[in-house]
């Protein structure tokens, strides 16, 4: 089996520029997902790293672009810890 993967690497001048691009990407993917499947599902991470992105998405200019009634949000954790 042969697969071809295409990567798109972008470099941003600041964390604010990165967060803005990420917010716009999430909005674009949500619209495409809802158009194709009738819903958008996203897993969000906790911690300090995404806080500014989430704050940006909560602003009216961004939040009004997301069809929240068709959006399913789950919390994820990338850390591995033993069950006990």
DSSP calls for 36-62:
HHS-EEEEEE-SSTTHHHHHHHHSHHH
Task: Give residue 2's pLDDT.
Answer: 63
Look up the domain containing 68 and give its range: 15-75
Tens of pLDDT along 19-49? 999 999 999 999 999 999 999 999 999 888 8
Contact 8, 25 (CB under 8 A): no
Number of structural domains found in the chain: 1
Give a yes or no: residue 45 inside a domain: yes
In a domain, 37, yes or no: yes
How far, in Å, CA of 60 to CA of 8, rounded?
Answer: 29
pLDDT 10s digits, 51-76: 999 999 999 999 999 999 999 999 98
């Amino acid at each position: 089996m042969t697969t071809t993967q295409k990567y798109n690497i972008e470099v941003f001048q600041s964390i604010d520029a990165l967060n803005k691009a990420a917010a716009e990407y999430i909005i674009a993917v949500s619209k495409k997902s809802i158009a194709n499947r009738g819903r958008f599902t996203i897993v969000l991470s906790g911690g300090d790293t995404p806080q500014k992105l989430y704050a940006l998405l909560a602003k009216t200019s961004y939040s009004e672009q997301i069809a929240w009634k068709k959006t399913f949000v789950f919390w994820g954790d990338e850390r591995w810890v033993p069950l006990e």
